[in-house]
Amino acid sequence: MYSSEEIAVSTGRSAMRMGPAELVQAAAMARRFYLEGKSKIQIAEEFGVSRFKVARVLETALERDLVRIEIRVPAELDAERSDALRARYGLRHAVVVESPAEAADESPDPENLGEVAADLLGELVNEGDVLGLAWGRSTIHMAAALDQLPPCTVVQLTGVYDAGTAERGSVEAVRRAAQVSGGEAHPIYAPMLLPDPATAAALRNQTGIARAFEYFDKVTVAAVSIGSWEAGISTVHDMLTDEEREHYASLGVAAEMSAHLFDADGRRVGRDLGERCITVEADRLRRIPEVVAIAGGQRKAEAIAAVLRSGLVTSLVTDTAAADQLLAAPPGARPALERADPDD
Confidence bin at 121 (pLDDT 50/70/90): very high
**Under DSSP, is residue 269 helix (H, G, I), strand (E, B) or coil?**
strand
Q: What residues have CB less than 8 Å from 69, skipping those under 6 apart?
A: 2, 6, 7, 34, 62
| Stretch 3-12: mean pLDDT | 40
Q: Beta strand 315-319 with 93-97: parallel, antiparallel or unpaired?
A: parallel
Confidence bin at 74 (pLDDT 50/70/90): low
CA distance 228 to 261: 10
**Under DSSP, is residue 66 helix (H, G, I), strand (E, B) or coil?**
coil
| Stretch 17-38: mean pLDDT | 83
CA distance 181 to 184: 9
Cα 7 to its chain centre, rounded Å, is 31
State if pTM tops 0.85. no
Confidence bin at 9 (pLDDT 50/70/90): very low
Cα 151 to its chain centre, rounded Å, is 21
Strands (E), 124-172: 130-133, 153-156
Confidence bin at 15 (pLDDT 50/70/90): very low
pLDDT 10s digits, 251-298? 999 999 999 999 999 999 999 998 999 999 999 999 999 999 999 988
**Under DSSP, is residue 252 helix (H, G, I), strand (E, B) or coil?**
coil
| Stretch 141-154: mean pLDDT | 93
Residue whose C-alpha is closest to residue 190's, from 238, 225, 156: 156
